[in-house]
Amino acid sequence: MSDGSRGRVVLAIDLGTTALKLALATTRGRLLDTEAEPQRVAVLPGGGAEQDPEDWRASIVRASRRLLGRNTELAGRIEAVNASVQWSGTVAIGEDGRPLRPAMIWMDSRGAGEARRITGGFPKVQGDGGRRMVRWIRLTGGAPTHSGKDPIAHILWLRQAGPEKYSRAAVFL
């Protein structure tokens, strides 16, 4: 569904919680064509919410092939790729660069207890221990949320609940 113009093109990728959305657009913002692919979320007991990072990659490949297959004349004019993804997800990556387990996504609150444990103390400042709050802000610019829905809480939960995967992680993305 191309517009037949000769301008530069952007491939936009939006990996959301329930769907991957792709778009081809001109650099002036004219939408040329779109494609989507649903994403699975595993909702687990205790506040867990996970997705398979390998599914993310495979979805991007499948949807891109469909979109560019319909727009072969635009593929060579892509000058930029813009990608956005869900926030506050955590992927444990092994030495080989591959995910060690499913990603804990922004909805996953299993780390709430661990987050409260590391942020507690006296005096309380909006639920956090004052001294710990100052230290967190100085070191990182913020502090873990009490909800457990952030990477620090995810990593702490994994350290406690899945020490074998935690110890094999080269990095957390």
Is the predicted pLDDT of residue 126 greater than 60, yes or no?
no
Residue 82 has pLDDT above 50, yes or no: yes
CA distance 124 to 135: 14
- 59 in the same domain as 99: no
Q: Which of 86, 102, 132 is the last residue of a domain?
A: 86
Compute the chain's Rg from CA coordinates: 20
Mean pLDDT of 45-69: 97
28 with 78, same domain: the answer is: yes
Note the pLDDT of residue 102: 98
Could you tell me the CA-to-CA distances from 142 to 60, 101, 108, 125 in Å, in that order?
A: 32, 27, 19, 13
Q: List C-alpha distances in Å: 103 to 19, 87, 90, 98, 128.
A: 16, 12, 6, 12, 27
Domain range for 1 is 1-86
Tokens of 12: 């936009």
